[in-house]
């Protein structure tokens, strides 16, 4: 794959694992009632990231942490620009009313995906609090949305892209600038 030669490693597999451990500790520290926490992954890599964090949080605390999926596709204000894709069914395992929600996405860029995900989320109920975790913040925000938990900040140009790769899907692990 010629793409692999042009890409730059942002986080190696080892660094990614350390970052995930740090993020897990930060969540445990910041979220007072983990029984009231609901992890919500945003397609596509946010779903996989939520699974990884769910396992790490459960392992660290002994608690069964709940997770779900929110697909913000139809809530986007820029659908004509980004296009539509196959939907990943929204799957919320319980009422979100009075829950502490941790929205999870791989990369934050303009903030539009997160805004759409919040709009979609509020169509399901009224959470007590919504927090945001991203693996990479690449800047270029168009909306005043900032993560509560961030794996790494990476300055990029608008024509570059960042990809989170996970072993269970990609057969490699790390974060790459392409």
- Share the mean pLDDT of the chain: 91
pLDDT score recorded for residue 19: 98
Distance of CA 25 to the CA centre of its chain: 16
**Residue 169, in any domain of the structure:** no
Instruction: Give the span between the Cα atoms of 148 and 26, in whole angstroms.
Output: 10
Q: Is 170 a member of any domain?
A: no
On whether residue 36 sits in a domain, the answer given is: yes
Per-residue pLDDT band at 87 (split at 50, 70, 90)? low
User: How many angstroms separate the CA atoms of 60 and 65, rounded?
Assistant: 11
Q: Work out the pLDDT band at 128, boundaries 50, 70, 90.
A: very high
Q: What is the pLDDT of residue 54?
A: 98
Domain of residue 131 covers: 14-73+94-156
78 part of a folded domain? no
pLDDT band at 112 (very low <50, low <70, confident <90, very high): very high
CA 149 to mean position of chain CA atoms: 10
Indicate whether 77 pLDDT > 90. Answer: no
Distance between CA atoms of residues 78 and 55, nearest Å: 34
What distance in Å separates the CA atoms of residue 106 and residue 125, rounded to the nearest whole number?
24
More confident residue, 28 or 81: 28
Q: Is residue 1 part of a domain?
A: no
What proportion of the chain, given as a percentage, has pLDDT over 90? 82
Prediction pTM value: 0.91
Q: What is the CATH number of the domain that holds 109?
A: 3.40.50.2020
Instruction: Evaluate whether residue 52 is within a structural domain.
Output: yes
pLDDT of residue 1: 45
Give the CA dihedral 92, 67, 172, 135, nearest 10 degrees.
Answer: 100
Within a domain: residue 38? yes
Element (H, E) at 19: helix 13-30
Q: Phi then psi for 156, rounded to 5 degrees?
A: -130, 165
167, part of any domain = no
**Collapsing DSSP states into helix, strand and coil, what is residue 6?**
helix
Mean pLDDT of 127-149: 97
Mean predicted confidence (pLDDT) in 30-40: 96
Averaged pLDDT for residues 36-45: 95
Q: Given pLDDT bands bounded at 50, 70 and 90, which one contains residue 44?
A: confident
* N- to C-terminal Cα separation, the chain: 13
Number of structural domains the chain divides into: 1
Helices (H) and strands (E) in the chain, counts: 6, 8
């Amino acid at each position: 794959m010629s793409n692999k030669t042009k890409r730059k490693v942002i986080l190696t597999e080892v660094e990614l694992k350390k970052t995930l451990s740090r993020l897990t500790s930060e969540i445990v520290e910041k979220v007072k009632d983990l029984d009231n926490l609901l992890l919500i992954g945003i397609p596509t890599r946010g779903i996989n990231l939520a699974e990884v964090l769910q396992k790490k949080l459960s392992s660290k605390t002994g608690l069964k942490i709940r997770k779900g999926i929110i697909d913000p596709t139809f809530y986007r204000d820029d659908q004509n620009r980004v296009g539509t894709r196959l939907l990943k069914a929204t799957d919320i395992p319980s009422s979100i009313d009075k829950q502490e929600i941790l929205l999870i996405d791989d990369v934050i860029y303009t903030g539009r995906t997160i805004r759409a995900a919040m709009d979609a989320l509020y169509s399901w109920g009224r959470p007590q609090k919504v927090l945001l975790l991203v693996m990479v913040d690449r800047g270029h925000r168009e909306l005043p949305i900032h993560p509560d938990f961030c794996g790494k900040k990476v300055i990029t140009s608008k024509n570059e892209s960042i990809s989170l790769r996970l072993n269970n899907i990609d057969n490699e692990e790390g974060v790459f600038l392409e």
